[in-house]
Structure 1
């Protein structure tokens, strides 16, 4: 069965990413039953700032936290990255996690669910460039959730409950189907890289 990790890209207290990832997992369970989707919350790994002596490209990980994270990433055939936009880019925690390992990301597919004032479109643009260097194939369709339209506000400046618009469901459905198809298509490439 194709395994897809739903990566929660923010570790900030009060983040909205976990609720968004749970929505992604819920829609995936209904619409992609032939694939196994699991939430991969970066907060659960508590990765420090990159502290490996050798570049990840060499695959010689010296720290237990890196080995644990590498094992988790390697289990998946593809990913859906759930990311907010911080200062026109991705959160530092997500960039740090991407830099920790290398081969474990290679030859897999990825899609994006961004959330922010402008749907995290600029963060996703940066993430696409980073993933290209990690040899990850990204799908075209992306979900851009607006803090103004897809979250209710509990105070004037504080987004509350996550309430995605109905149109977001169809976009997410297309994204999930694309990630599953591309993850399967890249399986021979992954197997060839391991041979």
Structure 2
């Protein structure tokens, strides 16, 4: 397998948000933890999607994200928990694409006052519908804003170790599913 392409997706669209800061931290960990090239950092706050009136079952017309999502072999979602789920902007980005996600793995880093794990669980169900395999290991960051410093997000060592374990599992699924997509494409039985 050639070098895998990882995409880190920052889901929050809010002006004052932790998502991009956590995404920067996660993106920096991928080369360190996996020896992989730097990931493609997709910030949904910097992405414009077409109007939903053009959305069709199975996705929509190509968007600014289509090629980037297609190139990615695996995804790391960075999502806050808003009202016990993940943000609407992330749902729109998911819904506008379909085949781009299929048969690829993802891990989820959620955050919030209680770690954002309800957002993770809601997101898993949606990703499963799109044939995305989510890692068992995920990361829930409880009040990460307390770990902000001059260098950005600097979590305790145990949190970084948790991310590294999730990334290690993601790397295994990335290689496994890449091989399966190449050698045994799903025929939709």
| Alpha-carbon contact 2:108-2:138 (below 8 Å) kept | yes
The question of whether the paired residues in 2 share the 8 Å contact of 1:152 and 1:163 is answered with no
CA deviation vs aligned residue, 1:15-55 (integer Å, no higher than 9, x gap): 11011011111111212113542211112222255232521
**Counterpart among 151, 163, 186 of residue 177 in structure 2:** 186
More deviation, 116-125/45-54: 45-54
Is 1:151 aligned with 2:145?
yes
The Cα shift of 1:93 comes to: 0.2
Give unpaired runs (5+ residues) of structure 1.
Answer: 155-160
- Per-residue CA deviations over 1:48-107 (Å, capped at 9, x if unaligned) read 5523252125xxx44xxx333221110100101000000000000001110001011000
Q: Which residue of 2 aligns with 1:83?
A: 79
TM-score w.r.t. length of structure 1: 0.85
Alignment correspondent of 1:158: none
Count of matched residue positions in the alignment of Structure 1 and Structure 2: 181
**Residue 33 to residue 92, structure 1, CA distance change in 2 (3 Å):** same
Q: Distance in 2 between matches of 1:184 and 1:174?
A: 16
Of the three residues 174, 177, 187, the one matched with 2:168 is 177
- Asked whether the 8 Å contact 1:83–1:91 carries over to 2, the reply is yes
Q: 1:70 to 1:194 in 2, by over 3 A?
A: farther
1:137 aligns with 2:128: no
Distance 2:17 2:156 in 1: 19
Tell me what 1:99 maps to. 95
Residues in 2 aligned to 1:40 and 1:30: alpha-carbon distance in whole angstroms: 19
Calculate the aligned-residue CA RMSD, in Å: 2.1
Residues 145 and 164 in structure 1, CA contact (< 8 A), matched pair in contact too: no
Q: Which runs of 5+ in 2 are unaligned?
A: none
Quick check: 1:167 aligned with 2:158?
Answer: yes
Higher normalized strand content (fraction of residues): 1
2:25 aligned to 15, 23, 26, which one?
A: 23
Matched with 2:124 is 128
